Structure 1
């Protein structure tokens, strides 16, 4: 009788997939640009909220 179940074997077989799977975009631009664009979005959103009187 085989004691190895499919559920126990699944994490070992998915390890390579999990390490290579990414949710972000390509890494061809610098990290600082991503941070600057993110903070710019925060500032623009804050300006919009204050100008419309939502806060």
Structure 2
């Protein structure tokens, strides 16, 4: 393979990787600046509900 063909394929691989990273990073997920207290309350509520379920079923 000639040097120009190798450089061309390396540029294509780099640009493809950059495009894939850009597309992957813009998924529309939750923002980082949201209310953290709501997340914590929901998490602890889930922990308590699972603990109550395990206790009631006698799994522990």
**TM-score, structure 1 as length reference:** 0.64
1:14 pairs with 6, 14, 20, which one? 20
Higher Rg:
2
- Unmatched segments (≥5 aa) in structure 1: none
Instruction: Pick the structure with more helix per residue.
Output: 2
Once superposed, what is the RMSD of the aligned Cα atoms?
2.5
- Unmatched segments (≥5 aa) in structure 2: none
**TM-score, structure 2 as length reference:** 0.60
Aligned residues: 53
